[in-house]
């Protein structure tokens, strides 16, 4: 039976690598007009992969293994447990609803893009309402005993629920919102952050950063895309992506560091986990904790920026030749409330997430209708960030997540940063993180994270893994304290 399990998982791996490769190629290398014909292949492979999971043989295999779970080694038992959950959830959703939903999400994301481009929320609203309906229904199929939003949260962050998140965001609101006002009085960003930096020089910077991060180039490649992401097919094949703006060198610089953090996670999973469902992270929040760790707790530190400054001046002599370390550090750490999440600084960022959490909680419970969503969005931005979008494109339409049915996803972004701070606190018992960052010596940091997080893949639930790694349960105080320092010690 163990052999049948391995074969099943290897087949799933093959489908998902093929699908992942087609998506990655589509986002980085394929010509623009190729999407529809690629969709034929993607549709076919997704269907086969879905069929494999719900077919009787698979369910019988999993049930038989589950029946003798006490005799299985722990990693095998964990695999069976994870697959059982997935198979059961997939089986409970009627095939015709699954197909109709896939079609709807396709249309909905097209409509979202059009609505955003034309600043016309009303065009998108009916689709959003339908997507939300499906998501609520699917949540009930998965676990009717729990509130729908808790089921959704659990999808992205196993074990997470509104109780924990309500407390987390209440704490953020209470401690951070009072800090926002003073941030608004800052002088504008200096001109050099908008100076022209040729793409070729930025590409060389990416290479340097990958070396500094210790990304093994035999196993990790970089490509260009519109919205940067990382994908790991296995521990020997991880891809990061970035986007180059000629007049914003910090953008790609921090994309590469952020995605590099994700990549280190994928590259660090143990060899024994390969080709199984354990070669995965336990939650999106934990994955994000790695990218945020390198981006914020290494990449934004004065020490690391001083270490990097000579390289930046060398690569961008015209833009940065006369800029001293202090100016660079201040510019990279400039904070001010803004309208767009992906451009937010470290301190205001979780407030953007808080707004989305509040809204999706109310949308899913039915307290808020999709028709009233833009107004509610604007009100929350006014109350918490002190600013209000001039239009829906910069407001409620800015993110694609809801158009694709990803309700419950946003909180993982803030949780990731909070986990990172908790890991940083635990790490500091053994390592002088700031000093290492200032030397550009990230290997000990990565080794620490690999041993405690990366190598374990999906062997443990996220909260358990965090506890094993840091010695304590989720404790957001480290994060809030860190953000308070960032916002005040300037």
Rounded Cα distance, 413 and 462, in Å: 14
Should residue 200 be labelled a site residue for a second copy when binding is judged by CB under 8 A?
yes
- Please pick, from the candidates 36, 71, 73, 96, the single residue that binds a second copy as defined by CB under 8 A: 36
Catalytic-labelled residue, pool 259, 266, 288, 358: 259
Span near a second copy by CB under 8 A; candidates 30-38, 252-260, 359-367, 423-431: 30-38
Residue 230 DSSP code: E
Partnered with residue 34 across adjacent β-strands are: none
Smallest gap from residue 418 Cβ to a second copy (A): 32
Instruction: Specify the stretch interacting with a second copy by CB under 8 A; choose among 29-37, 293-301, 362-370, 407-415.
Output: 29-37
* Footprint of a second copy on 273-302 (CB under 8 A): 274-275
Using the rule CB under 8 A, is 49 a contact of a second copy?
no
Look up residue 425 and give its DSSP letter. Answer: H
Binding characters for a second copy, 236-275, by CB under 8 A (x = yes): xxxx----------------------------------xx
Calculate ∠ Cα 176-289-412, nearest 5°: 65
Q: Identify which of residues 95 and 199 has a Cβ nearer to a second copy in the complex.
A: 199
State yes or no: residue 234 binds a second copy (CB under 8 A): yes
Pick the closer one to a second copy by CB: 11 or 311: 11
Site residues (CB under 8 A) for a second copy, limited to 209-228: 216-221, 223
* Least separation in angstroms between CB 216 and a second copy: 8
Tokens for 211, please give them: 């070396």
Kindly state the smallest distance separating residue 108's Cβ from a second copy, in Å: 23
Q: Report the sign of the C-alpha dihedral through residues 267, 270, 273, 278, in that order.
A: negative
Instruction: Determine the Cα–Cα distance for residues 269 and 125; give it in Å rounded to an integer.
Output: 41
**Interaction between residue 56 and a second copy (CB under 8 A):** no
**What residues contact residue 293 under an 8 Å CB cut-off, 6+ apart?**
261, 420, 423, 424, 449
Residue among 29, 68, 95, 110 that touches a second copy (CB under 8 A): 29
Among the listed ranges 10-18, 392-400, 424-432, 472-480, the one in contact with a second copy (CB under 8 A) is: 10-18
Establish whether 360 is a catalytic residue: no
Q: How far is the CB of 276 from a second copy (least distance, A)?
A: 12
Residue appearing with tokens 């809801």: 402
Residue closest to 217 by CA, chosen among 202, 238, 198, 234: 238
Residue 238, helix vs strand vs coil: strand
Please tell me whether residue 31 binds a second copy under the rule CB under 8 A.
yes
Minimum CB separation from a second copy for residue 262, in Å? 15
Q: Which stretch binds a second copy (CB under 8 A): 17-25, 103-111, 118-126, 178-186?
A: 17-25
Minimum separation from the CB atom of position 405 to a second copy (A): 25
CB of 217 to a second copy, least distance (A): 6
148-166 as b/e: b if 16+ CB within 10 A: bbbbbbbbbbbebebebbe
Gap between the Cα atoms of 399 and 342, Å rounded? 9
Q: 274 or 484, CB closer to a second copy? A: 274
Residue-wise over 322-333: b if at least 16 C-beta within 10 A, else e? Answer: ebebeebbbbbb
Based on the shown chain and the rule CB under 8 A, indicate whether residue 18 belongs to the binding site for a second copy: yes
Q: How far is the CB of 234 from a second copy (least distance, A)?
A: 4
Region of 189 please: left (phi>0), alpha (psi -120 to 50) or beta.
beta
Does 170 interact with a second copy (rule: CB under 8 A)?
no
Q: How many residues bind a second copy (CB under 8 A)?
A: 40
Per rule CB under 8 A, is residue 186 in the interface with a second copy? no
- The rounded distance, in Å, linking the Cα atoms of 143 and 196 is 53
Query: Is the separation of the CB atoms in 127 and 109 below 8 Å?
Result: no
Q: Does 38 bind a second copy (CB under 8 A)?
A: yes
Q: Is 331 in the site for a second copy (CB under 8 A)?
A: no
Q: Residues with Cβ < 8 Å from 283, sequence gap 6 or more? A: 156, 157, 158, 160, 412, 462
- Per the listing, tokens 């929320």 go with 121
Residues in the chain, overall count = 490
Which among 189, 221, 227 is positioned nearest to 203, based on CA atoms? 221
Q: By the 8 A CB rule, do 478 and 421 touch? A: yes
Contact call for residue 179 and a second copy (CB under 8 A): no
Question: Can you give the binding site for a second copy, defined by CB under 8 A?
Answer: 10-11, 13-14, 17-18, 21-22, 24-25, 28-34, 36-38, 40-41, 44-45, 200, 216-221, 223, 233-234, 236-239, 274-275
Residues with a known catalytic role: 259
């Amino acid at each position: 039976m163990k052999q049948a399990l391995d074969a099943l998982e290897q087949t799933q791996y093959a489908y998902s690598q093929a699908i992942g490769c087609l998506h990655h190629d589509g986002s980085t290398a394929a010509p623009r007009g190729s999407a529809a014909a690629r969709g034929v292949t993607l549709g076919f492979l997704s269907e086969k992969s879905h069929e494999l999971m719900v077919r009787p043989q698979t369910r019988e295999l999993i049930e038989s293994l589950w029946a003798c779970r006490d005799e299985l080694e722990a990693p095998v038992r964990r695999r069976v447990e994870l697959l059982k959950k997935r198979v059961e959830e997939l089986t409970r959703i009627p095939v015709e609803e699954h197909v109709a939903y896939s079609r709807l999400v396709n249309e909905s994301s097209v409509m979202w893009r059009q609505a955003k481009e034309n600043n016309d929320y009303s065009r998108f609203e009916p689709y959003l309402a339908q997507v939300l309906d499906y998501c609520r229904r699917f949540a009930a199929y998965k676990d009717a005993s729990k509130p729908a939003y808790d089921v959704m949260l659990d999808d992205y962050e196993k074990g997470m629920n509104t109780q924990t998140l309500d407390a987390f965001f209440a704490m953020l609101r209470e401690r951070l919102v009072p800090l926002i006002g003073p941030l608004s009085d800052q002088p504008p960003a200096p001109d050099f952050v908008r100076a022209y930096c040729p793409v070729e020089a930025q590409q060389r910077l990416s290479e340097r950063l990958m070396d500094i991060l210790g990304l093994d180039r035999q196993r990790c490649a970089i490509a260009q895309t519109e919205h940067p992401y990382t994908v790991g097919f296995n521990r020997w094949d991880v891809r990061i992506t970035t986007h180059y703006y000629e007049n914003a060198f910090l953008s790609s610089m921090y994309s590469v560091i952020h995605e590099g953090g994700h990549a280190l996670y994928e590259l660090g999973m143990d060899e024994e986990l390969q080709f199984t469902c354990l070669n995965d992270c336990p939650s999106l929040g934990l994955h994000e904790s790695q990218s945020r760790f390198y981006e914020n707790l290494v990449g934004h530190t004065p020490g690391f920026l001083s270490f990097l400054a000579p390289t930046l001046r060398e690569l961008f002599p015209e833009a940065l030749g006369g800029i001293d370390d202090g100016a660079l550090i201040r510019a990279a750490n400039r904070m001010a409330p803004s309208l767009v999440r992906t451009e937010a600084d470290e301190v205001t960022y979780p407030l953007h997430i808080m707004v989305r959490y509040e809204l999706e909680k109310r949308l899913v419970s039915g307290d808020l209708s999709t028709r009233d969503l833009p107004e509610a969005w604007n009100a929350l931005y006014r109350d918490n960030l002190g600013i209000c979008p001039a239009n829906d494109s910069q407001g409620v339409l800015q993110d694609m997540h809801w158009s694709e049915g990803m309700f419950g996803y946003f909180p993982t972004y803030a949780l990731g940063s909070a986990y990172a701070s908790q890991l940083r606190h635990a790490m500091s018992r053994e390592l002088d993180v700031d000093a290492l960052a200032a030397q550009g010596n990230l290997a000990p940091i990565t080794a620490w994270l690999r041993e405690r997080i990366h190598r374990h893949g999906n062997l443990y639930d996220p909260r358990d893994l965090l506890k094993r790694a840091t010695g304590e349960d989720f404790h957001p105080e480290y994060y809030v304290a860190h953000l308070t320092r960032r916002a005040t010690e300037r």
